[in-house]
């Protein structure tokens, strides 16, 4: 059962109402799960959540996964957060020896060869570090939105995450792309410079490209695969709902 306030019907979609609802929901999450954490990809949605948490000093942790294949622009966002809010977010990295062995066996660009090899790479660089980052926590928070792709079409505000065995909150589930950017401009929230170069969704450098006008917001992620397999394992539960 969803307990978070839900603006899904969007009868009043002003930024003020969206923001108030978001802050109430994040406060509620912090009370229900004091050890909950935002898993930030450092993309626009996660920066909105980061701003809500840090500007209100909400007792929620924030961490990111440095896969070792991120754009320089993405890494710059970590520094921008420190400068803006005076706080360092946690950084989790893959096991160096596991990465070395994988690259030795399959090469540096094996993810282009098959979905299986791509998922193996995502697993060692993202899923395994995420498991470590979530260890001991009762819940995690993501910046996923329903309109991002068909794999997120039925995204709930909160759900049992069977993949990681804890609770999961998606407080921006019903936000539109325009809402995210209105918030970023209104509050002057720092964001990844790649968003201004045609990248609405940003992952690792070799697996992300700019999109063309009219393309799906996540069309630039793993563009060589079909759209119903485009989750990296962090949100694998979405695939079962497609």
What DSSP assignment string belongs to 36-83? -EEEE-SSHHHHHHHHHHHHTT-S-EEEEE--S---HHHHHHHHHHHH
109 vs 185 by CB, closer to ligand SF4: 109
Which region, judged by CB under 6 A, interacts with ligand SF4, from 43-51, 100-108, 185-193, 203-211? 203-211
Termini Cα distance of the chain: 21
Residue 232 a catalytic site member: yes
Interface map 12-51 toward ligand SF4 (x if CB under 6 A): ----------------------------------------
SS3 100: helix
39 vs 52 by CB, closer to ligand SF4: 39
- In the set 26, 180, 232, 234, which binds ligand SF4 (CB under 6 A)? 232
Find out whether 219 and 151 touch, Cβ atoms under 8 Å: no
Q: What are phi and psi of 124, to 5 degrees?
A: -80, -30
Q: Which residues contact 41 (CB under 8 A, 6 or more apart)?
A: 64, 65, 143, 202, 203
Separation CA 220–CA 17 (nearest Å): 31
Q: Does 71 bind ligand SF4 (CB under 6 A)?
A: no
Report the nearest approach of ligand SF4 to the CB of residue 199 (Å): 13
| Catalytic pick among 232, 234, 235, 238 | 232
- In the set 7, 21, 67, 144, which binds ligand SF4 (CB under 6 A)? 67
Report the nearest approach of ligand SF4 to the CB of residue 67 (Å): 5
- In the set 51, 102, 126, 145, which binds ligand SF4 (CB under 6 A)? 126
51 vs 125 by CB, closer to ligand SF4: 125
Q: Does 171 bind ligand SF4 (CB under 6 A)?
A: no
Find out whether 10 and 174 touch, Cβ atoms under 8 Å: yes
Element (H, E) at 92: strand 90-92
For tokens 């999450």, what's the residue?
29
Catalytic residues: 232
Summarize as ranges the residues that interact with ligand SF4 (CB under 6 A): 67, 69, 111, 118, 121-122, 125-126, 203-204, 206-207, 232
């Amino acid at each position: 059962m969803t307990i978070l306030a839900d603006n899904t019907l969007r009868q009043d979609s002003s930024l003020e109402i969206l923001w108030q609802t978001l802050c109430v929901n994040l406060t509620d999450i912090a009370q229900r799960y004091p050890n909950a954490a935002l898993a930030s990809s450092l993309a626009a949605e996660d920066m909105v959540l980061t701003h809500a948490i840090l500007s209100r000093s909400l007792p929620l942790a924030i961490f990111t996964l440095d896969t070792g294949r991120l754009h320089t622009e993405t890494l710059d966002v970590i520094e921008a957060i420190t400068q803006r809010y005076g706080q360092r977010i946690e950084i989790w990295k893959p096991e160096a020896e596991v990465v070395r062995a994988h690259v030795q066996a399959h090469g540096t660009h094996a993810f282009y060869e098959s979905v299986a090899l791509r998922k193996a790479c995502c697993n060692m660089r993202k899923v395994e570090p995420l498991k470590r980052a979530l260890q001991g926590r009762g819940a995690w928070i993501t910046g996923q939105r329903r309109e991002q792709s068909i794999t997120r079409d039925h995204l709930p505000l909160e759900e049992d995450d069977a993949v990681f065995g804890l609770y999961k909150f998606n407080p921006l589930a019903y936000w539109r792309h325009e809402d995210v950017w209105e918030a970023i401009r209104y509050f002057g929230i720092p964001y990844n410079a790649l968003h201004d170069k045609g990248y609405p969704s940003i992952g690792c450098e070799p697996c992300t490209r700019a999109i063309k006008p009219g393309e799906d917001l996540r069309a630039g992620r793993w563009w060589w695969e079909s759209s119903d397999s485009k989750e990296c394992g962090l949100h694998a539960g979405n695939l079962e709902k497609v």
